[in-house]
């Protein structure tokens, strides 16, 4: 979950004490990993819609546990089809070597346990997106973050510079991820359901 949170928001690769306590509480309460990942994804979608003024936290995502996704997963599976086939087919049709490699990796996932399959698929996609984001030249990442600051508009006037930078990186990363087909927890959860 820590890696997914950092992937969505950018920034430091660690949890705050409040987020660590929140995560331990959720896991101790028996909340599944895919449910936590879906809450994070839903929280990000809500934040993009409402232009949040505070950095993404696990604590903020907690209220999204168990709620339906804000965005339609966008894929449906035919009966008898492998669970992740719609995403694999969409990626194969992109015509990009990275998309083809990700499609092959998703096809290679063979868990019969739905939660494990969702968790593994999300991890593969997260690694894919992180690799692409880090492969961008530094000046391109900075350009995207600067564009996100402009997109945030008046929020820049009411938050400190560190918070603005964190919010802008979250917006820039979200825009960067959106260039690919639906590679999120809600999509994978919808597909693995019997």
Question: For each of the chain's 194 residues, which pLDDT tens digit applies?
Answer: 577 777 777 766 677 888 888 889 989 999 988 888 888 888 888 877 777 778 778 888 898 888 877 666 667 778 788 888 888 888 888 888 888 999 999 988 877 888 899 999 999 999 999 999 999 999 999 999 999 999 888 888 888 888 889 889 988 998 898 888 678 888 888 888 76
Name the pTM for this structure: 0.80
Cβ neighbours for 74, distance < 8 A, ≥ 6 positions apart: 181, 182, 187
Cβ neighbours for 6, distance < 8 A, ≥ 6 positions apart: 12, 13
Give 104's DSSP letter.
H
């Amino acid at each position: 979950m820590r890696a997914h949170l950092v992937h969505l928001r950018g920034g430091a690769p660690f949890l705050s004490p409040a987020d660590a306590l929140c995560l331990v509480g959720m896991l101790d309460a028996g909340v599944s990993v895919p449910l936590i990942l879906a809450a994070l994804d839903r929280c990000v979608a809500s934040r993009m819609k409402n232009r949040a003024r505070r950095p993404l936290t696990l604590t903020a995502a907690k209220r999204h546990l168990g709620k339906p996704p804000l965005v339609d997963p966008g894929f449906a599976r035919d009966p008898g089809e492998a669970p992740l086939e719609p995403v694999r087919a969409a990626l194969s049709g992109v015509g990009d070597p990275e998309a083809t490699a990700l499609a092959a990796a998703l096809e290679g996932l063979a868990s019969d346990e739905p939660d494990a399959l969702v968790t593994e698929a999300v991890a593969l996609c997260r690694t894919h997106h992180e690799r692409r984001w880090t492969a961008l030249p530094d000046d391109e990442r900075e350009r995207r973050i600067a564009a996100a600051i402009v997109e945030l508009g008046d929020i820049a006037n009411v938050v400190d510079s560190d918070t603005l930078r964190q919010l802008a990186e979250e917006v820039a990363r979200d825009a960067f991820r959106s260039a690919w087909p639906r590679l999120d927890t809600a999509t994978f959860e919808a597909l693995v359901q019997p």
